[in-house]
Chains A and B, each alone.
Chain A
């Protein structure tokens, strides 16, 4: 493959040098803060050629020598057009100013944003934080993950949850990256908040399964979140004060226009409400989280820039003085951007990621802990050969350390006997990958991005590994020394997306991608609980594999003011994991004996109609889908719907700027209730009433729907505002869970009882900026 890659590089380089061409390159940034604008468009109206900035705001465009009108634009910013005389390659950094307010119709010179039609991308959504901030959410807290759930093909894991399912995949099949560092648990407070603080985020991009080859390791999606760099021109302090949480962000230049920093912190104080309880146990309880984001960058030279970013967050729960649970993520990313020349861009990253939880039982001095740690090294090259060819290639190595569970209990104060120290063996693995992808525009109408990724997963010692028979009994075992190879898996992951532009307003696209996943989350509940355990592929657990085929039709209307798309997909899943009935998981050395393996498939239709500019913006999204699983040991081997098999899923989002003082927004969601298992009969064993189950997930929860409203008032300082929002405005008692119990009204009979969480949740947040 190396030879092929080299040959391609060479041929493209030669073709580039053979003509009298020059390169226009540089960074596009926010004029006020110096923040990189990711995905900004650079285009030449006369020739129709164009480029986008990468995740560091860098672009490179190859043109014949000559004079050009070059347009720079980014959603929500005033576009700029520059007359540029190109006699030789030119470095041109550009700054764009925020559109003064959204009332001013953004006039786009030459061409409006028709990227959705033109680009060789599908199943992708980009959102800037300014868009995300307009959408109403629970507790008034800007939340990337919850806003993403309003898009077609992306579904919430449950009421108020930041967990999500993409095109029928599991929650653990989403690759969630914060400045390239994988985040293993994106939830705070059992999912009601995501770990992503809106004030610290620049932009987000979500791939729904057809990721380019530079992403890998998860089956269903890649969510790439970039933190803000911080204002490189001026010091600033901003924040928000809300009913249950507050935020504060400080940013400023380290050396003006050379480097900047950003520090952002957040804390909830939901536990204050516990003090209102009359129950002393509840009164003495704690329930809060805090998190910090920090980032610094420094421009060493015109060709070199380094970035250091980190995240640290903890959740704390406690009941009385008896019990404590705390968990959280920590990530750190060190990056070095280097320009070899105006066409070849290299990003090197060293990444650390850690997720752990700890339960403490104070009275018996005991604790339980579990987690996962990653060390990750990446080399990513972008080669902007010419306007028809962009190459990306690179390598990646991740050293995983899985800590499935540990209990320590030193003494028992009352009896001083029985010491318990139990640790499930840690696991180690090296996940490596090499990829290359080629974005190729053979003609104005036809574009494609194809590539391949080769990934390998080596399970390493030290440790003992077991073989099991069908009943879960150990049949063989082997012990391995440190760094000794236990077993390995690997394979190619081809990816391709192609688009054909029918006319400037219409295009059709197709894509295929294969993804492999070597790490798996074991979870038996629908809520994101901290006790879910990550585990690697091993001699027993095979890597999960997904193949996804999708087709799309993209159409814009009315001068690209309205964008619409229709996408259909089919996804095939191999080596899916479920628990055996009655599985014993807790601190079980042989947890692999408690699992069963099967397959799955899902298919669906996704419609999106979106208006991105003007006083009124918003979108309508509709998804029709089917998601099935099949396991020989479950449901008598018959396929059954996955819990997240939601046939219909609708989101309506509208945002309206009335004037300079007032913004309003509303969101309405509707989806088919989850597929769940309910009893179909009963019997008695030893005097206990036992429910009888027939089909797995054969019943449905009632349909879910909800309306959220929000109003924002801007004062004299347009950066400060007061936001009032109402979650679940018409107070529907949406089902969170259903339990069956003996009826008190009609003794001798059973009844169904639903639990609902949030009937109306008003919130008020004051956002400020100095």
Chain B
């Protein structure tokens, strides 16, 4: 329980404490609707069945949910050896191919043509990182979590300071929509370990941990994204901005070549 996030977390709760005397109230702030922008979510996995490219548009802020899916785009993924695959639109706005699988160590290129616009990106598929062991420790209730077990995972990677991981958790088959990010380039005592500080687990929970190894650029996108989704610790930025996409052409979103591994545990 001692990585950098922990420090940020405490600092944040400290700031909250200092504002004890504060009060909150809903307020009417008129916001202008920006023009709709193209949002790309493109992932190429090293395992079958997961790779897909989703194209949609942004919507209003106060009434989210209306995000039109973009059909009839030409979506191509090619590797550095010159192999190129044109994806099929399997459902509205979703493009894939059953045979679409990436190889570790290969660099991939994504090309999207939609309605006269062109978006491009590249991503390197790194080596997958396997979780060696998982440990649990009882944690008290805190401002940022409920009482319950804190899970810590232990792993080894070839080049620890060039390891960028994004974890996805399925708890009793339910996906948790939260960004858990491990940045190996940061100074940390817990190299090769990660604590899920904001999640609390109960005895008997069945947890599937998907460990996604990313390249630095794709990771940086999620790292910046976490500042906006509230998953990053620390006081909110004074001047928030859109995460820098690794796509050219003015699209929001990302293209990531993902080397994934799966670990399943039951809380003892």
Binding site for B on A (CB under 8 A): 189-190, 274, 277, 281-282, 285, 287, 317, 319, 322-323, 325, 359, 361, 363-364, 366, 368, 407, 409, 412, 414, 418-420, 422, 524-527, 529, 531, 581-582, 584, 586-587, 634, 643, 677-694, 696-697, 699, 702, 733, 735-740, 743, 748-759
Chain A min CB distance to B217 (Å): 9
- For A287, the chain B residues whose CB sits under 8 A away are 17-18
20 A–B contacts from the bound complex (CB under 8 Å) = A317-B18, A368-B7, A420-B189, A525-B235, A525-B237, A526-B238, A581-B224, A586-B4, A680-B61, A682-B58, A684-B67, A686-B177, A690-B228, A692-B37, A692-B61, A696-B239, A740-B61, A749-B64, A754-B26, A755-B24
Tell me whether B60 and A682 are in contact (CB under 8 A).
Answer: yes
- For A757, the chain B residues whose CB sits under 8 A away are 19, 21-22
Tell me whether A683 and B18 are in contact (CB under 8 A).
Answer: no
Given A407-B187, A409-B2, A581-B241, A752:B29 Cβ within 8 A? yes
Q: Is B41 an interface residue (CB 8 A)?
A: yes
Tell me whether B8 and A319 are in contact (CB under 8 A).
Answer: no
Q: How far is the CA of A686 from the CA of B167 in the complex (A)?
A: 12
Q: Is B124 an interface residue (CB 8 A)?
A: no
- For A702, the chain B residues whose CB sits under 8 A away are 27
- For B65, the chain A residues whose CB sits under 8 A away are 748
Chain B min CB distance to A285 (Å): 6
Q: How far is the CA of A757 from the CA of B18 in the complex (A)?
A: 10
B58-74 with Cβ < 8 A to chain A: 58-65, 67
Tell me whether B26 and A753 are in contact (CB under 8 A).
Answer: yes
Given A368-B7, A582-B224, A750-B62, A738:B29 Cβ within 8 A? yes
Tell me whether B59 and A683 are in contact (CB under 8 A).
Answer: yes
Partner of A419, one of B186, B189, B237, B244: B189
Q: Which 4 A-B pairs give the minimum distances between C-beta atoms?
A: A420-B189, A582-B224, A680-B34, A422-B187
- For B4, the chain A residues whose CB sits under 8 A away are 586-587
Q: Is B32 an interface residue (CB 8 A)?
A: yes
Q: How far is the CA of A758 from the CA of B21 in the complex (A)?
A: 7
Report, as a range, how many residues of chain B touch the other chain. 35 or more
* Total A-B pairs, Cβ < 8 A: 219
Given A359-B7, A678-B29, A529:B235 Cβ within 8 A? yes
Tell me whether B22 and A755 are in contact (CB under 8 A).
Answer: yes
- For A689, the chain B residues whose CB sits under 8 A away are 64, 229
Chain A min CB distance to B26 (Å): 5
Q: Which residue of chain B lies nearest to A689 when distances are taken between CB atoms in the complex?
A: B64
Binding site for A on B (CB under 8 A): 1-2, 4, 6-8, 10-11, 13-15, 17-29, 31-34, 36-37, 39, 41, 56-65, 67, 137, 143, 175, 177-179, 183, 186-191, 193, 220, 223-225, 227-229, 231, 235-244, 252-254
Partner of A692, one of B18, B27, B58, B244: B58
Given contact pairs A682-B60, A693-B240, A699-B29, enumerate 16 new A-B contacts (beta carbons under 8 Å).
A317-B17, A325-B11, A325-B14, A359-B7, A361-B7, A368-B7, A678-B29, A679-B31, A679-B61, A680-B32, A681-B33, A681-B37, A683-B39, A692-B252, A749-B62, A758-B21
Partner of A189, one of B18, B23, B236, B243: B18
Q: How far is the CA of A683 from the CA of B237 in the complex (A)?
A: 20
Chain A min CB distance to B81 (Å): 26
Tell me whether B32 and A735 are in contact (CB under 8 A).
Answer: no
Tell me whether A319 and B238 are in contact (CB under 8 A).
Answer: no
Q: How far is the CA of A681 from the CA of B33 in the complex (A)?
A: 6
Q: How far is the CA of A407 from the CA of B189 in the complex (A)?
A: 10
Q: How far is the CA of A526 from the CA of B19 in the complex (A)?
A: 14
Tell me whether B41 and A749 are in contact (CB under 8 A).
Answer: no
Tell me whether A319 and B10 are in contact (CB under 8 A).
Answer: yes
- For B63, the chain A residues whose CB sits under 8 A away are 748-750
Tell me whether A753 and B60 are in contact (CB under 8 A).
Answer: no
Q: Which residue of chain A lies nearest to B179 when distances are taken between CB atoms in the complex?
A: A688
Given A368-B7, A738-B29, A420:B2 Cβ within 8 A? yes
Chain A min CB distance to B182 (Å): 14
Partner of A696, one of B183, B224, B241: B241
